[in-house]
Amino acid sequence: MPPRRKEGPEPGRAPYFVRSEGRETNTAVAQKTQRRSDRTAPRPARPASPRPEKARPTSTPAGLPRLTGRGGILLIVLFSFTGTMIAHAASWPAAPGIAFTAACLMTAVLVRPPDLLSLSVSPPIAFFVSAVSAECLLALGNEGFTRVLVLGLASRLAEVAPWLFLGTALVLVIAVFRGLPGNLRELGDELNGRR
């Protein structure tokens, strides 16, 4: 049986995927590669301009402090916890809901625009954490700790449900006007590898 001929370049010639010396560089692939290498090449540093940089406009009024997303979530937890303790001490069932709604309103206005996405999904979780913490503290020393905790938590969540919806809706509405759609676009770009 005669030997089979191997597929490949002719002797003395480079394979088709290696550029030979005489080929032109105007092909579409070569141009695309050149553009890509131009983008990644380091750019020379610009000389310092004599003009001072303009301050970036912020979406919070001047003089108000700006919170991070975590700081806003912590504020919601602290306000809700305090409201729950006041509701237990003063027998005023609306206190946790009012405190939660006030905290949601404050954080939606004061949080930095890049952190709006993390804040907009967190209020119900923050309230749940604060309610569990407060009910655990209130159930300490009782005989049936688990039973008291579960019943107290269920009644607390049932009393505050309308306030939870109101506070979460306020955060979402304010966040939309402060730049939440831009944050969602950036997240989509990062997840799709466009950035």
- Which pTM was predicted? 0.64
Q: Would you say 115 and 68 are in contact if contact means Cβ atoms under 8 Å apart?
A: yes
Q: What is the pLDDT of residues 84-126, one digit of tens each?
A: 999 989 888 889 999 999 999 999 999 988 888 888 889 999 9
Question: Stretch 137-165: mean pLDDT, rounded?
Answer: 89
What SS3 class is residue 36?
helix
DSSP states of 107-140: HHHHB-GGGHHHHHT-HHHHHHHHHHHHHHHHHT
Domain ranges of the chain: 69-191
Q: What is the pLDDT of residues 13-36, one digit of tens each?
A: 655 555 555 554 455 555 555 555
Q: Which residue has the higher pLDDT, 192 or 54?
A: 192
Tokens standing for residue 37: 């290498």
pLDDT at residue 34, rounded to an integer: 59
What SS3 class is residue 67?
strand
Q: What is the pLDDT of residues 72-84, one digit of tens each?
A: 999 999 999 999 9
